[in-house]
Structure 1
Amino acid sequence: MSSHAPGKRRGRRSPEPEEHVNHERWLVSYSDMITVLMALFIVLFAISQVDQAKYEALRQSLTAGFQDQTGSDAILDGSAGTLDGQSVVPETSTANGTAGMVDADMGLGDQGASPSPAESTEAVSPELLAAARAEADHLAEIRATIQKALDKARLGDAVRFRVDERGLVLGLVADDVFFAAASADLTPTARAVLDIAGPTLKALEEHISVEGHANVLPVSGRYATNWELSADRATQVLRHLVEKDALPGGRIMAVGYGDQRPLVGGKSGAAMETNRRVDLVILSDAPETVRALLPAMTKE
């Protein structure tokens, strides 16, 4: 009788079923995104609804509280609030007839010779008008003080005053009185004018911008362009006021505008002399809404 050794039964392994591919998996992410967007729009809608009655009550409460502390009712006054859909910054018309915000540089260059129509005072609150009148009177006092000192030294015609939305501008026209052509060297007359105005400028609290300008004639030699020439003129005036007249350096700055901001257009002899100048701008520290009214307050 024969015996057979037991052997292992070998069989074929059954194939595993293929994983099912979910072709609609993107719907989960999409629905999450839609849910988040819906929540965002609900939040935006909620915060856009302002209870005007509650806001007005809050405004009056704050006004009363500040009035008790300061004795003034000017705080939070003049409008129903900043949420009434109107801008608190006055607008003015630009050269192309479109409305735009008041620019700090308006009143310079061509605008200085032919200023834009001043901000209307018809719809301005009494408090704002009073503040603008007070600031205009302050600038007029500065002008009168400097003009009186210049007249005493027989230099009353050496400075041309004007007021724009930034403050009081002292125009030092360089028709060979302050600077020679293509030169930034201060003449004796220029030094005398600066020394006369220096004490008044030193006593002020406002910052002062010294702005150099040049005419359109090309320069050669020491200066590559009119930009360098105008910047050097402004720097020389600044240095004299700081080093000779003890004006605090932290309150004064210098900038050169080249020939880009002429007071008089064209290439006539008068234009060449008038545009070769340095402006000393006493920068008003009044709010922008007050400064926008200054030209209308100082019409001559």
Structure 2
Amino acid sequence: MATKSARRRKGGHEEHEEHVNHERWLVSYADMLTLLFVLFVVLFAMSTVDQKKFNELAAGLSAGFGAPTVVFQGQTSTLDGDGPAAQLLNIDPGARPDDGTSGTQKMTKEQQQAVQRAIQAEGRIRASKNADAAAKEAEDLKKIERKIADALAKVKLLDQVRFTIDRRGLVVTVVTNEVVFAGNRADLRPGGAKILDAVTPPLLALPNPIEVDGHTNQLNSPTTFYPSGWELSAARASRVVRYLTDHGLAKSRMSAVGYSDTKPLIDPRDPRAITMNRRVDVVVLTMLKPDQAGLLPAAAGDDAKPHVGQTTAEANAEANAEAGTTPSTTTTTHD
């Protein structure tokens, strides 16, 4: 103690251990964010709003979030005035997306009617675009059908397949009926392999995912080698998927689904149901958006029902007949 007192009297002060503040960087970081915020506010306040670009932005945001599309008219101005930006910000600020209001309560009747007309026009434009996309997709799927039909016709197996275009895409239905699989079994027979050999090449060049669905008929007879029709239908679908992947289709494109007897192709009371409902579907899945894919059956017309495939030669002959022209002397033959 005497030594410390003497040291204080002699030196005039006492040395203390330095305390390091490990959070000083937060002050600098906060200052940087504040300065950036002020900079952007100043730049935004100095800018003017391009009316055309603003309306396009408002329409795009409305389409994306399902909000009403409001088109403003008038001269461009800054946010301090009564320009488009100010009008947009002043639309019923108390309205919320979840309170059941549309954000037009404080508008005049004429303004509300204008908003409603804009919404209806946007809906018609969207519906028209969806219909055009569905029509183009239906035609593309029809072209795929013709290529598969050409290949099947060459091996004289076109009558073993039915085609349908539904909201999922192009459905190639292979009626098993002892051609593809034996009763109660999932072992691919030579006839089934021959059909798949014809179906595979047109699928290789496509980007579409492929789904294989297995189905059984509605007979109450027991499944000898499987616990139920679920396992049997799934095994048949999986066997077809393995065959397709072994012949070049990427595994990432494939999926197998077993439906047992829950999705009959025709009425189970129909005498043909025993053979027609026992089948495998190879589905070329559409890449359209769901609201566009829902229009595919309507766009496909008669092709939305199960039908025998039409070859390219038959389609060309039909088109020539409708056009009233003489078919080309070059004909396509199926060996």
For the superposition of Structure 1 and Structure 2, which TM-score range results when normalised by the shorter chain?
Answer: 0.5 to 0.7
Alpha carbons 1:216, 1:267 under 8 Å: kept = no
Query: Which residue among 73, 78, 82 is the counterpart of 2:66?
Result: 82
1:139 is aligned, of 138, 141, 153, to 141
> Could you report, residue by residue, the CA deviation over 1:196-236 in whole angstroms, capped at 9, with x for unpaired residues?
11111121111011110001223232111001110111011
Q: Does 1:230 align with 2:233?
A: yes
Q: Which runs of 4+ in 1 moved over 6 A?
A: 77-81
For residue 57 of structure 2, the aligned residue among 56, 61, 64 is: 61
One of 200, 204, 229 as aligned partner of 2:206: 204
Letter in 1 for 2:176: A
Structure 2 counterpart of 1:82, one-letter code: G
CA contact (8 A) 1:231 1:256 kept: yes
Specify whether residues 203 and 77 from structure 1 end up closer, same or farther in structure 2 by C-alpha distance, changes over 3 A only: farther
Asked whether the equivalents of residues 167 and 283 of structure 1 are also in contact (C-alpha less than 8 Å), the reply is yes
Cα 1:263–1:123 shift into 2, 3 Å: farther
**Residues 81 and 182 from structure 1, CA distance in 2 versus in 1: closer, same or farther, beyond 3 angstroms?**
same
1:177 to partner: Cα distance: 1.8
User: Identity, % of aligned pairs?
Assistant: 37
User: Separation in 2 of the partners of 1:127 and 1:139?
Assistant: 18
Deviations 1:108-146 (A, max 9, x none): xxxxxxxxxxxxxx9963322221121111111111111
CA contact (8 A) 1:59 1:81 kept: no
Distance 1:57 1:211, change over 3 A: same
Secondary structure of the residue aligned to 1:172 is: strand
> Do the aligned residues in 1 keep the contact of 2:211 with 2:255 (CA within 8 Å)?
yes
State the TM-score, normalizing by the size of structure 1: 0.60
Partner amino acid, structure 1, of 2:244:
L
The CA RMSD over aligned residues, in Å, is: 2.9
Q: 1:180 to 1:125 in 2, by over 3 A?
A: same
Aligned match of 1:290:
292
Structure 1 CA distance, aligned partners of 2:248 and 2:243? 9
> Aligned partners of 2:186, 2:56: CA distance in 1, in Å?
57
- Matched residue pairs, number? 199
- Greater RCO (Cα-Cα under 8 Å, separation 6 or more): 1
Residue in 2 that maps onto 1:276: 278
Larger helix percent: 2
Deviation, structure 1 residue 255:
1.0
Secondary structure at the aligned position of 1:211 is classed as strand
